Amino acid sequence: MDKEEYERVNNPVEIARLLDALGGAQGATLVMEETGKPFPVLIQALEHGDSLTLNLDAVREVVPLLARGESFRLTGHSEGKLTRTPPLGGLIAANDDKRCWRCDYPLHLERLQRRASFRARLRLGMVAAAEVSVGDSEGDSEGDSEGDSEGDSELLQGDLLDLSVDGCQLILPQPAARLLRSTQLPLNLTLCFPDGTRLAVKGSPQHYRIEQERRVVRSGFHFSHPSVDQQRELWRLVTEIERESARIGEGLESRRPPSTLFQFASEASQASLGRRQSDPYPTPMTARLALVAGYLDAQALELVHGGHIDGAQLSQQADRLLALLEEDREAVLFALRCLTRESWPVRHGLAVAVRLVDLAGVKLPRDLLKAMAASAMIHDLGKVLLPESLALVPTFGEAERRQLASHVDLLRQRMRGCRWLADSVFEAVACQLNERLDGSGYPNALDADALRELARASAVVDAVDAMRHQRIDRAAWRIEAIYRYLVDHPEKFDSAWVKRYIQRFGLHPVGSLVRFEEGDLGWVLGLNDQGRPSRICLHTSQTPPTEMPRSPLTGAILTGSQLADLGRPSGEIAVGA
């Protein structure tokens, strides 16, 4: 057994048996020895002791490499363990159309003994949820949770990050840290997949790490004595995750059908999956917008793991965002303010995308609006690649400013998968919205002569949303103070776009909390043609809240004469997320 804990199999009979298993319905994976890149293949035929015939029709792009003599391994699962061949080569065509290729028969195989060391990681576009609770859900361990009655009723919902037959890694909401610190007992884990598959198993927390920027906890679990049936289902899930991950990695050229494990029956089923189900959003539109936020959150995690922006996913989610905006503009504007659970780069990116498209107007070509939305959605994701300590610095010096500005180039380097996105739009929106007319912005200190109209508009939208939210060094600004600041600094912000923004979104924007002359508080849900509140949700107390609503709105919806009875708005209450 070597340092990676692979056991060498030399018995010819056992080699033949294991290769037969790899040639079964589950198939095998071809892994390039030099790069480690996996490709799904089929073992077409076995001539024991002589050769293997591989069907490479679905991965023809790898054939030239193999034909030049580059070595590879075949890997797969058999009898509950990961099996691999030694490096193979000498590939020759087995038929005229060159779909099947013959290679040497392996003289030995290697089997991985430590199964927990092999984890199948979910890639961007693969969604699976996890439920974590304390207590004996099946009633077979009476007395295990004594003294923790409060924990018995606690249910945490998160996302599955990776899976093996021995354990898994989950992304949980930040309050999970308290539970993970306090328990020494196995927890109830339920893995939930889009097709309806659910697997319940016990798991003991092994480690956890709080990610401050994303406001989540990454935690590893070890499964506690899974049954034979549970192990069998775990291997099936691991295999499906591997295959879907390989298919996504192949991109648009993949000829393999998507795994049914990750196919949703409807948007409603998608909305009900994952941690967002445990704490309903204030409005139905907020829940729908949270699906786009979930994509951005997953994309941010992919960047942290060294991945790139997925062009196909970004295109799909930009279309979804535009469709929501076209369906109900004011509902989306209110929902933006209610996305308080997501990380700052995610909710800020969505807010800038929606308001920039809305400010630009629907008369622009849809392809341009889509490119603007996509660029704005991801413009701050490069910040997840910066040190977490930077987010906790209350006052920036020159060194911190340079480090912050680097997030633009970090994002640029991860854009190679977005060929559909116009470079000029991406540069103006994602890379220049922090520039200022007087050259005091970043990352390149461009001045007015170098900034296009789209960059000028983006700068106004970005600044308004940033000042609307509280930071570690200051509270949230009231909208009138923000407008005054922008108007008073024409050397930094384009006055024409500032004026258009104020006219478009009004002195009491949708999503703001307003106090009326009679003393009542109300959330603005809609504006009339004069920019005044035309529909509000009455706040249930005359004491201003300290944060945006986190649960479904319960106040009365007032319009017309009922709203008029409250008197005129007397001022906004600044509420930061």
Angle between the N-to-C axes of helices 329-338 and 311-327, in degrees from 0 to 180, rounded to the nearest 10: 120
Tell me the average pLDDT of the chain.
85
Q: What is the DSSP letter of 144?
A: T
Q: Look up residue 115 and give its DSSP letter.
A: G
Share of the chain above pLDDT 70, in %: 88
pLDDT at 264 over 80: no
Per-residue confidence (pLDDT) for residue 416, from 0 to 100 = 82
Given this model, what pLDDT does residue 115 score? Answer: 46
Say whether pLDDT at 213 is over 70. no
370/320 Cα distance (integer angstroms): 10
Question: Which helix (H) or strand (E) element contains residue 244?
Answer: helix 228-250
Least confident span in 31-45, 158-172, 509-523: 31-45
Distance CA 59, CA 246 (A): 11
pLDDT band at 447 (very low <50, low <70, confident <90, very high): very high
Q: What is the pLDDT of residues 341-350, one digit of tens each?
A: 788 899 999 9
Provide the sign of the torsion angle of the four alpha carbons 401, 341, 290, 254, taken in this order: positive
What pTM does this model have?
0.66
Beta bridge partners, 307, equal none
Angle between helices 344-360 and 329-338 (to 10 degrees): 160
Reported as a single tens digit per residue, the pLDDT across 361-418 is 768 999 999 999 999 999 999 998 888 777 767 778 888 888 889 999 999 999 987 8
Span 152-161, average pLDDT: 78
Token duo for residue 544: 């201003």
**Looking at the predicted structure, is the pLDDT value of residue 283 above 80?**
yes
CB atoms inside a 10 Å sphere around CB 136: 17
CA 243 to chain centre: 20
